[in-house]
């Protein structure tokens, strides 16, 4: 394998959904590889069988496909360094753990759960961090042989030094040193023969030729232990790229448990996948310019992982909505119309010229799920209060509203061909004849035909879509409402 080639991996656990933080890790790993013309690998980390969720691997494939992060090697497509599912690599881990035992860098531990529990309670009582006490490191070769041949359950632990310092370099956080006295002799191989996440990661990353390891900053504190493993094997240490946490507010990280949206949830809420990916790219990284809208192709070109920030990133739903609105406006009218149709069908029971509705909504929609609430007045005039006819800026009150609706009514009734241009021309002419401000005629009409103070499109567009009969019926209701309620 060519070791000069950049190789990154995305290694999710199959837990059933694509968390925004996981998706960002995948995106950054993908961008680092593709920026340098390298390989992006998918590996499934399912060594923790207790957390395995049925169908979860499909969720991962689906999310990567939707997000456009196409992997070059993985369980579904194979590749030169498979298998790409950790549970299928089980024999490898035992072999490598035993190599470390031979080198004195790891040892067999036969301690019972009771003994470990006692150590934990003791640490708690003393208020010191729990650490395994190297009890089994002192076993003689004969004792180990005997216990193994008796079939006693064991784990294999990393043998970390008690003195000295371990230093590692992170490309984002700089050089970080840890006192070896703080390092626990972590378990590498569990009693069921499965590796721990920490051990499998190191072995797999090495065997798969991974050059850059992208992960969350919560793994910073484990990195010295990883480095000791690389050094124990005599392997090259990869470039570490730790990403800052994504926060929902100043004190809480984004979390599915707290009801924060996953990638799938965001798509269901009507966000466009391109907008979500663009937004996630900027959670913890920026290009150093004012540009905020990037296609995946542009991101590949400009992505420099050294510009990832250390500071936590805030997930701002308003900012994402704004960005999504920008993406919706970039769609052609036909594309928008096609995406909006299911929402029209769901909201509107009567038949309309849907294309005209799309023309109104295209530039006024931030997320697709906003559409129903913008159209709810078309099928049925909502109950509204006559106070809506009073509008300071439009200079309307009850008297002006009644007078102008009564003057507009015959003009609209007289129209033989009902279309946007004719409606506009006839009302514009009326406004000129009356010598009043536009809003003094248009606001009452808009209020009468929609019953709402905020609508997509104005009086003309709504009247055009509603049709002649319904428009006239609603204006008549408005006049009556005003006369009765004053």
pLDDT tens per residue, range 361-398: 999 999 999 999 999 999 999 999 999 999 999 999 99
| pLDDT at residue 51 tops 90 | no
Of 44-48, 63-67, 305-309, 377-381, minimum mean pLDDT range = 44-48
Run of H or E residues at 481: helix 468-485
Q: What is the pTM of this model?
A: 0.90
Give the pLDDT mean for 86-110.
Answer: 97
pLDDT digits (tens, 9 = 90+) for 141-157: 999 999 999 999 999 99
Q: Kindly report the CATH number that applies to the domain delimited by 386-485.
A: 1.10.10.350
Span 1-73+244-330: which CATH code?
A: 3.40.50.620
Lowest average pLDDT, out of 3-7, 112-116, 356-360, goes to 3-7
pLDDT(214) > 70: yes
Q: Residue 50 above 80 pLDDT?
A: no
Give the model's confidence band at 168: pLDDT under 50 very low, under 70 low, under 90 confident, else very high: confident
pLDDT of residue 358: 98
Confidence of residue 258 (pLDDT cuts 50, 70, 90): confident
The pair phi, psi for residue 469, each rounded to 5°, is -60, -45
* Given 190, 256, 407, 437, the catalytic residue: 256
Could you tell me which residue, 467 or 168, shows the higher pLDDT? Answer: 467
Q: Which of 3-12, 96-105, 364-373, 472-481 has the lowest mean pLDDT?
A: 3-12
Is pLDDT at 477 greater than 60 in this prediction? yes
pLDDT of residue 383: 95
The reported pLDDT for the residue numbered 171 is 86
Give the CA count within 13 Å in the CB-facing half-sphere of 369: 9
Using alpha carbons, list the distances in angstroms from residue 43 to 94, 192, 316, 395.
19, 21, 30, 65
* pLDDT score for 486: 67
Strand ranges (E), 110-253: 155-158, 165-170, 174-179, 187-189, 212-216, 239-243, 246-247
Sign of CA dihedral 276, 257, 50, 199: positive
Q: What CA–CA distance (Å, rounded) separates 302 from 327?
A: 20
- 216-248 residues labelled b (16+ CB within 10 A) or e (exposed): bbeebeebbbbbbbbebbeeebbbbbbbbbbbb
pLDDT given for residue 3 in this prediction: 57
pLDDT of the residue at 189: 97
At 408-450, the pLDDT tens digits run: 999 999 999 999 999 999 999 999 999 999 999 999 999 999 9
Confidence of residue 1 (pLDDT cuts 50, 70, 90): low
pLDDT at 6 over 80: yes
Question: 353 φ, ψ to 5°?
Answer: -80, 95
pLDDT at 255: 83
Q: Is 37 left (phi over 0), alpha (psi -120 to 50) or beta?
A: left
What is the reported pLDDT for 221?
A: 85
4 vs 31, residue with greater confidence: 31
Q: Say if residue 271's pLDDT is above 60.
A: yes
Is 256 marked as binding a ligand?
yes
Q: What is the CATH number of domain 91-189?
A: 3.90.800.10
Residue 127 among the catalytic residues: no
Average pLDDT, the chain: 95
> In this structure, what token pair is assigned to residue 268?
């269901």
First CA to last CA across the chain, in angstroms? 85
- What pLDDT sits at residue 55? 87
Q: What is the gyration radius of the CA atoms in the chain, in angstroms? A: 33
pLDDT at position 2: 57
d(C-alpha 150, C-alpha 433), whole Å: 106
User: How do residues 272-318 score in pLDDT, each as one tens digit?
Assistant: 999 999 999 999 999 999 999 999 999 999 999 999 999 999 999 99
- pLDDT above 90 covers a percentage of the chain that reads 88
């Amino acid at each position: 394998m060519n070791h000069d080639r950049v190789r990154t991996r995305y290694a999710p656990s199959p837990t059933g959904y694509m968390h925004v933080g996981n998706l960002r890790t995948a995106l950054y790993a993908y961008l680092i590889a593709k920026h340098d013309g390298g390989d992006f690998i998918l590996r499934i980390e399912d060594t923790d069988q207790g957390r395995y969720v049925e169908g979860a691997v499909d969720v991962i494939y689906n999310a990567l496909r939707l997000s456009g992060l196409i992997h070059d090697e993985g369980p579904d497509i194979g590749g030169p360094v498979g298998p790409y599912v950790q549970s299928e690599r089980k024999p490898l881990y035992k072999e490598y753990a035993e190599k470390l035992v031979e080198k004195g860098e790891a040892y067999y531990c036969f301690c019972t759960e009771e003994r470990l529990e006692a150590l934990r309670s003791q640490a708690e009582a003393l208020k010191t961090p729990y650490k395994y006490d190297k009890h089994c490191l002192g076993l003689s070769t004969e004792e180990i042989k005997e216990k193994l041949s008796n079939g006693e359950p064991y784990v294999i632990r990393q043998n970390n030094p008690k003195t000295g310092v371990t230093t590692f370099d992170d490309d984002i956080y700089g050089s970080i040193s840890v006192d070896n006295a703080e390092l626990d002799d972590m378990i590498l191989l569990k009693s069921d023969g499965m590796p721990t996440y920490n051990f499998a990661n190191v072995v797999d990353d090495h065997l798969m030729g991974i050059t850059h390891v992208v992960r969350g900053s919560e793994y910073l504190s484990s990195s010295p232990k990883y480095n000791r493993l690389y050094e124990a094997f005599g392997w090259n240490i990869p470039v570490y790229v730790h990403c800052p946490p994504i926060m929902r507010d100043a004190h809480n990280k984004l979390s599915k448990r707290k009801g924060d949206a996953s990638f799938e949830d965001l798509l269901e809420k009507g966000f466009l996948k391109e907008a979500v990916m663009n937004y996630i790219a900027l959670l913890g990284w920026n290009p150093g310019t004012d540009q905020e809208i990037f296609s995946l192709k542009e991101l590949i070109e400009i992505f420099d992982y050294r510009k990832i920030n250390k500071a936590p990133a805030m997930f701002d739903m308003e900012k994402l909505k704004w960005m999504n609105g920008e993406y919706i406006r970039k769609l052609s009218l036909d594309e928008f119309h096609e995406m909006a149709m299911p929402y029209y069908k769901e909201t509107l029971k009567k038949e309309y010229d849907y294309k005209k509705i799309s023309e109104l909504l295209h530039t006024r929609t931030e997320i697709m799920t906003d559409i129903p609430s913008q159209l709810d007045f078309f099928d049925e005039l909502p109950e509204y209060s006559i106070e809506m006819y009073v509008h300071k800026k439009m200079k309307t009150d009850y008297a002006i509203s009644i007078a102008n609706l009564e003057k507009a009514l015959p003009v609209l009734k007289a129209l033989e061909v009902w279309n946007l241009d004719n409606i506009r021309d006839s009302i514009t002419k009326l406004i000129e004849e009356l010598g009043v401000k536009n809003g003094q005629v248009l606001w009452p009409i808009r209020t009468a035909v929609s019953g709402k103070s905020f609508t997509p499109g104005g009086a003309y567009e709504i009247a055009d879509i509603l049709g002649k009969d319904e428009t006239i019926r609603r204006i008549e209701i408005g006049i009556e409402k005003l006369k009765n309620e004053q």
